């Protein structure tokens, strides 16, 4: 017998079975407790949200003639280890001296989908990429793309070490973390602009594709001992020369870390991304207040002191707007901070403003130079260059 979590209330309370939990408020405590009622106070506070579902072992399992206590299995998502599984265990041990289930089962579909979707995005970015012609040397790649491959080196070291110790749960954890954080939240999110707006054969685009290619080559190998069919499916769609099957390959040795003398070190990127995360919470807040729409309709003024440890921001210059995915980012000394700026990290303040400029219909950035070209009145300056000129160049991101 298997039980899944539902919002069932304790049926032993008179009236609740018919009227739902609202019946509690009209209940006379004597109905429930009889002559002992005077020894108890009835409270109307809301109990912990997990208590209703966490006591279904009593209100459902023990009441329903077709069910047995304890249940053979409780089935829910893995977030319920600290939720329903936990509250059910606590309440049942307190009430009955034993667990309410013989075993619990979580599904791993979300984690699988994250890995599959990340692979799908990386593959989609390689649509016109031929490694024989387009693969760039590490030294020629943009620093952000070098960082992404560097992160893959770190992940590969952890994953191969976990495989050596047969710690498969650490393999899947690391794989998921790499997909959701390094790829989904950072590399893929930030390079989307380059992929979609720059000229097909530009350095900015080929650099991001080179990183995506190396990363995916490594990822399919991390995956195939535990996700063989998905790994094989992805491998067969990878561009370029390859083995007949991913199963015939060894660990990918084409990854490369950041040089010690990199223009932006891994620690520098960690600083920049920490500010990005802090700022994104403030962007979300301002958006919830209705002052901006999408993040690209916003401009940021960031005020920080030397002691904040975020000096790497200034290295990126105007390209910070691509990292933060806003239409402009301006950096200032903390001493110039206006009252409207909000502290998002220690010694780092941000002022989020709605851009007053027109939105470019092509890249969606709001820029003062939208409409400078009579031939392309709806485009910003860099898009005009990308559509009919030399094309833009990027130094970092
Ligand atoms: Zn544009």
- Domain for residue 361, yes or no? no
Which of 40, 74, 107 is at the close of a domain?
107
The answer to whether residues 72 and 181 belong to one domain is no
The answer to whether residues 114 and 103 belong to one domain is no
Residue 84 belongs to domain spanning: 16-107
The answer to whether residues 184 and 243 belong to one domain is yes
User: The domain spanning residue 300 has which CATH number?
Assistant: 3.30.2320.20
Quick: pLDDT tens for 161-198: 999 999 999 999 999 999 999 999 999 999 999 999 99
- Per the structure, the count of domains in the chain is 3
Which of 78, 107, 136 is at the close of a domain?
107
User: The domain spanning residue 116 has which CATH number?
Assistant: 1.10.730.20
The answer to whether residues 208 and 136 belong to one domain is yes
- Domain for residue 1, yes or no? no
Cα of 348 to ligand 1 centre, how many Å?
A: 29
Cα of 65 to ligand 1 centre, how many Å?
A: 66
Could you give the CA distance from residue 24 to residue 20 in angstroms, rounded to a whole number? 8
Cα of 200 to ligand 1 centre, how many Å?
A: 15
The answer to whether residues 43 and 128 belong to one domain is no
The answer to whether residues 115 and 241 belong to one domain is yes
Cα of 366 to ligand 1 centre, how many Å?
A: 8
Could you give the CA distance from residue 155 to residue 158 in angstroms, rounded to a whole number? 5
Cα of 386 to ligand 1 centre, how many Å?
A: 9
Cα of 296 to ligand 1 centre, how many Å?
A: 11
The answer to whether residues 229 and 117 belong to one domain is yes
- Give the per-residue pLDDT at 8: 39
The answer to whether residues 100 and 174 belong to one domain is no
- Domain for residue 148, yes or no? yes
Picking from 267, 240, 266, the residue whose alpha carbon sits closest to that of residue 252 is: 240
Dihedral of the alpha carbons of 150, 138, 396, 119, in degrees to the nearest 10: -50
Quick: pLDDT tens for 37-88: 888 888 887 666 678 789 989 988 998 899 999 999 998 887 788 889 999 9
Cα of 395 to ligand 1 centre, how many Å?
A: 18
Cα of 127 to ligand 1 centre, how many Å?
A: 22
**CB-based burial of residue 272 (10 Å sphere; 0-12 exposed, 13-18 middle, 19+ buried)?**
buried
Could you give the CA distance from residue 126 to residue 121 in angstroms, rounded to a whole number? 9
The answer to whether residues 300 and 314 belong to one domain is yes
- Domain for residue 312, yes or no? yes
- Domain for residue 292, yes or no? yes
**CB-based burial of residue 307 (10 Å sphere; 0-12 exposed, 13-18 middle, 19+ buried)?**
exposed
- Domain for residue 236, yes or no? yes
Picking from 249, 226, 244, 234, the residue whose alpha carbon sits closest to that of residue 173 is: 226
Cα of 381 to ligand 1 centre, how many Å?
A: 7
Q: Which residues of the chain have pLDDT under 50?
A: 1-11
The answer to whether residues 65 and 126 belong to one domain is no
The answer to whether residues 204 and 160 belong to one domain is yes
- Domain for residue 368, yes or no? no
- Give the per-residue pLDDT at 47: 64
Cα of 375 to ligand 1 centre, how many Å?
A: 14
Cα dist from 12 to 24, 55, 332, whole Å: 11, 12, 64
The answer to whether residues 297 and 200 belong to one domain is no
Which of 62, 83, 107 is at the close of a domain?
107
- Domain for residue 380, yes or no? no
- Which H/E stretch holds residue 298? strand 298-304
The model's pTM is 0.77
Cα of 362 to ligand 1 centre, how many Å?
A: 5
């Amino acid at each position: 017998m298997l039980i899944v979590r539902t919002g069932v209330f304790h049926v032993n309370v008179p009236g609740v079975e018919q009227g739902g939990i609202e019946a509690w408020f009209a209940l006379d405590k004597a109905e429930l407790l009889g002559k002992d009622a005077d020894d108890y106070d009835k409270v109307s506070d809301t109990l912990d949200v997990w208590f209703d579902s966490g006591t279904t072992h009593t209100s459902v399992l023990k009441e329903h003639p077709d069910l047995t206590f304890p249940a053979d299995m409780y089935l829910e998502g893995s977030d319920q280890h600290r939720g329903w599984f936990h509250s059910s265990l606590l309440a049942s041990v307190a009430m009955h001296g034993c667990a309410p289930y013989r075993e619990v089962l979580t599904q791993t579909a979300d984690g699988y989908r994250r890995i599959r979707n990340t692979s799908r995005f990386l593959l989609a970015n390689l649509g016109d990429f031929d490694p024989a012609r387009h693969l760039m040397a590490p030294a020629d790649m943009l620093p952000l793309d070098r960082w992404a491959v560097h992160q893959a080196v770190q992940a590969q070291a952890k994953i191969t070490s976990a495989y050596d110790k047969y710690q498969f749960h650490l393999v899947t954890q690391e794989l998921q973390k790499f997909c959701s954080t390094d790829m989904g939240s950072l590399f893929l999110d930030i390079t989307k602009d380059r992929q979609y707006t720059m000229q097909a054969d530009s350095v900015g685009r080929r650099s991001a594709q080179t990183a995506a290619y190396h990363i995916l080559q490594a990822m399919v190998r991390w995956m195939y001992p535990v996700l063989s069919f998905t790994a094989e499916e992805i491998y067969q769609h990878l561009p370029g020369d390859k083995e007949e099957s991913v199963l015939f390959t060894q660990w990918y040795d084409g990854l490369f870390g950041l040089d010690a003398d990199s223009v932006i070190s891994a620690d520098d990127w960690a600083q920049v991304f920490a500010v990005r995360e802090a700022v994104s919470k403030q962007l979300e807040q301002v958006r919830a207040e209705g002052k901006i729409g999408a993040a690209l309709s916003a401009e940021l003024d960031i005020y920080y002191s030397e002691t904040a440890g975020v000096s790497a921001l200034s290295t990126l210059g105007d390209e910070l707007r691509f990292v933060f995915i806003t239409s402009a980012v301006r950096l200032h000394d903390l001493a110039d901070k206006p009252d409207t700026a909000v502290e998002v990290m220690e010694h780092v303040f941000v002022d989020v403003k709605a851009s007053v400029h027109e939105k470019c219909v092509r890249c969606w950035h709001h820029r003062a130079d939208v409409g400078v070209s009579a031939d392309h009145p709806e485009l910003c300056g860099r898009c005009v260059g990308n559509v009919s000129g030399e094309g833009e160049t990027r130094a970092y991101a």
